[in-house]
Amino acid sequence: MLSRLNYPCITGSSCGFRHLRGSIIYNMSDEEKKGTFGDLLKKFFTKLPAAGELVKGTVISVDNGAVRIDVNGITTGVIRGHELFSESEEFSNTKIGDEVEATVIEQENENGEMELSFRAAGHEIVWKRMEELVQSGLTIEGKIVNANKGGLMVQVDALIGFMPVSQLSPENYPRVPGGDKNRILEHLKQHIGKAMQVKVLDANKKNEKLIVSEKAVWEDSQKAVLDAYKIGDIIEGEVGALTSFGAFIKFGEGLEGLVHISEIAWQRIDHPKDVLKIGDRVKAQIIDLNKSKIYLSIKRLVDDPWKSVKDSYKIGQIVEGEIHKVEPFGLMIRLDNDIHGLAHISELSNAQMSEDKMGEEFKVGDVKKFEIVNIEPAEHRLGLRLEGVKPKVEAKKEEKKVEEKSEAVAEEKEEEKVEEQAAE
């Protein structure tokens, strides 16, 4: 390692081998000073940081495109050229006397100095900071630099992290009908260049994986506001968005709750837009609070019409109903605004009916007469049979009678045949 007698002192100048000996002895303990100078030299260099290690030191000079630091009084390190590039803000305004960290590239360069890097050290430091943010839960500002169909690329300090779509706040979440990925991407691209406060959810230096969340910051901000609400409270708000699975209601101080499609109305609906539209003012009841997630119900503010269904409808009653939807298994029939029934495909004809034939004979909007065959209020179910179609039990009885009659006729013919043979 020592190919020259001259060795740099902590001032960066060449002080010669005598200074090296003095420096070695000065930095040895009393126990370590025992033995030959060769032994001391060997022990001294085993203390030198290896390539790749992070070292701390004091800046002793900043000139000629290089920064020199005293590495714990052991040797002088130099950072020069592209290794001065700062990946984090620590080294942007370095001056004499500053305590800094750098990464060892080479224990001794051509001038006998330790070759160091701010670039690599900055990389280490910023990852360490990200790991600390995961633990502390503190927020940090990020800048959106790109977008793909899965989320946003966010610059956090000197690193590029990823924010999945699911980690956007409700305000920025792309509620696209049908989940069209191309439209989602268009929405996400609108955020490029914007800054937002985020939380670091995962920082894995080994896999270069950095996951951030805007939603987590939003959730924290909502906790204090949510303390003012409890399950059972009734709120009034505005329909802000409609999706296939429900409606989002904006209310209070920037709050938003979800009314699942099953909680919009007592009757079966195919899509929230069947009964709601964006901008509608509605009242809803809070039915669940899960962290920052608020779940609402509109239908629970209205009496369940199925509780009194038997006051209006009876088994065996013939009623008129409008075909609301044609399903593979039968027809959905609207008896009134609240009560819908099902006419199973097996209850639409005395003969076996195929799905295709059902689609040909019955159209949405047609009004037909049906017989009520069962009512189950607790299950919100009402079964119907097309008027004139025989009950399946009776049909089976008739089939059995026909079979019995055929068997009797066959037996009579057999007896006559036997009698004729006997007569012969």
Domain limits for position 175: 137-215
Q: Is the pTM of this model over 0.75?
A: no
Q: Which tens digits make up the pLDDT trace of 246-282? A: 999 999 877 889 999 999 998 888 889 989 999 999 9
Query: Which residue shows structure tokens 């305004």?
Result: 93
Residues 6+ apart with CB under 8 A from 88: 122, 123, 125, 126, 129, 157, 158
CA–CA distance, 3 with 110 (Å, rounded to integer): 9
Give the pLDDT band of residue 173 (cuts 50, 70, 90).
confident
Q: Which residues on adjacent β-strands are paired with residue 331?
A: 326, 343
Indicate the range of 35-39, 50-54, 375-379, 418-422 predicted with least confidence. 418-422
Q: How many DSSP H helices and E strands does the chain contain? A: 8, 20
The answer to whether residue 250 is domain-embedded is yes
Give the CA angle between residues 40, 114, 105 to the nearest 5°: 120
| DSSP for 215-233, written as a single string | HHHHHHHHHHHHTT--TT-
For residue 322, the tally of other CB atoms under 10 A from its CB is 15
Q: Report CA dihedral (42, 44, 50, 51) to the nearest 10 degrees.
A: -90
Strands 255-260 and 293-297: parallel
Q: 156 and 142 in contact (C-beta within 8 Å)?
A: yes
User: What's the domain count of the chain?
Assistant: 4
The answer to whether residue 68 is domain-embedded is yes
The answer to whether residue 424 is domain-embedded is no
Examine the domain organization and report whether 238 and 265 are in the same domain: yes
CA–CA distance, 35 with 42 (Å, rounded to integer): 11
Last residue of a domain, one of 215, 237, 253: 215
The answer to whether residue 64 is domain-embedded is yes
| DSSP for 361-389, written as a single string | H--TT-EEEEEEEEEEGGGTEEEEEETTP
Last residue of a domain, one of 301, 327, 356: 301
Examine the domain organization and report whether 28 and 116 are in the same domain: yes
CA–CA distance, 208 with 81 (Å, rounded to integer): 25
CA–CA distance, 69 with 294 (Å, rounded to integer): 56
The answer to whether residue 405 is domain-embedded is no
pLDDT of res. 73: 80
Examine the domain organization and report whether 172 and 120 are in the same domain: no
| DSSP for 87-132, written as a single string | SSGGGTT--TT-EEEEEEEES--TTSPEEEEHHHHHHHHHHHHHHH
Give the chain's largest Cα–Cα span: 146
The overall average pLDDT reported for the chain is 80
Examine the domain organization and report whether 31 and 100 are in the same domain: yes
| DSSP for 323-365, written as a single string | EEEEETTEEEEESSSS-EEEEEGGGS-SS---HHHHHHH--TT
CA–CA distance, 341 with 383 (Å, rounded to integer): 6
85 vs 182 pLDDT, higher one: 182
CA–CA distance, 213 with 221 (Å, rounded to integer): 13
Q: Average of pLDDT values for 151-160?
A: 87
Determine the straight-line distance between the first and last CA of the chain, rounded to whole angstroms: 131
The answer to whether residue 47 is domain-embedded is yes
Amino acid at 329: F
Nearest to 184 by CA among 147, 130, 213: 147
152 vs 47 pLDDT, higher one: 152
Examine the domain organization and report whether 141 and 119 are in the same domain: no
Give the pLDDT band of residue 16 (cuts 50, 70, 90).
very low
The answer to whether residue 403 is domain-embedded is no
Last residue of a domain, one of 268, 301, 334: 301
Examine the domain organization and report whether 145 and 188 are in the same domain: yes
Q: Give the three-state DSSP class for 208.
A: coil
Query: Which residue shows structure tokens 């060449």?
Result: 14
For residue 110, CA distances in Å to 57, 82, 102, 117, 423 come to: 21, 18, 19, 16, 133
Indicate the range of 2-6, 13-17, 68-72, 237-241 predicted with least confidence. 2-6
Q: Give the three-state DSSP class for 71.
A: strand
CA–CA distance, 12 with 57 (Å, rounded to integer): 14
Q: What CATH number is attached to the domain comprising 246?
A: 2.40.50.140
Residues 6+ apart with CB under 8 A from 48: 74, 75, 107, 114
Q: Which tens digits make up the pLDDT trace of 208-223? A: 899 999 999 988 877 7
pLDDT of res. 349: 92
Q: Average of pLDDT values for 125-132?
A: 88
Q: Which tens digits make up the pLDDT trace of 356-369? A: 999 899 999 999 99
- Element housing 189 (H / E): helix 181-189
* Number of residues assigned to the chain: 424
CA–CA distance, 334 with 364 (Å, rounded to integer): 11
Examine the domain organization and report whether 294 and 344 are in the same domain: no
Q: What region, left, alpha or beta, does residue 254 occupy, with left being phi > 0 and alpha being psi -120 to 50 degrees?
A: left
Give, to the nearest 10 degrees, the angle between helix 17-26 and helix 37-46: 70
The answer to whether residue 180 is domain-embedded is yes
Residue 402 has pLDDT above 50, yes or no: no
pLDDT of res. 249: 94
Examine the domain organization and report whether 22 and 115 are in the same domain: yes
